[in-house]
């Protein structure tokens, strides 16, 4: 898993940023009691 993620980060930095942004949005929306609260 880490190897695949490393490859995506290296080859597709724009896609990786979109994934991270989507994950952050998901966390903010569905985990209101998480560390971002």
DSSP string, the chain: -HHHHHHHHHH-HHHHHHHHHHHHHHHHHH-TTSTT-
What would the pLDDT profile of 1-24 be if each residue is shown by its tens digit? 678 878 877 888 788 788 888 888
pLDDT for 36 beyond 60: no
Q: How confident is the model at residue 29 (pLDDT cuts 50, 70, 90)?
A: confident
Question: pTM for the complete prediction?
Answer: 0.45
Instruction: Count structural domains, the chain.
Output: 1
34 confidence band (pLDDT: 50, 70, 90): low
Owning domain of residue 35: 1-37
């Amino acid at each position: 898993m880490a190897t695949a993620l490393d490859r995506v980060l290296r080859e597709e930095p724009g896609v990786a940023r979109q994934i991270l942004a989507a994950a952050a949005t998901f966390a903010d929306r569905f985990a209101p009691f998480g560390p971002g609260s």
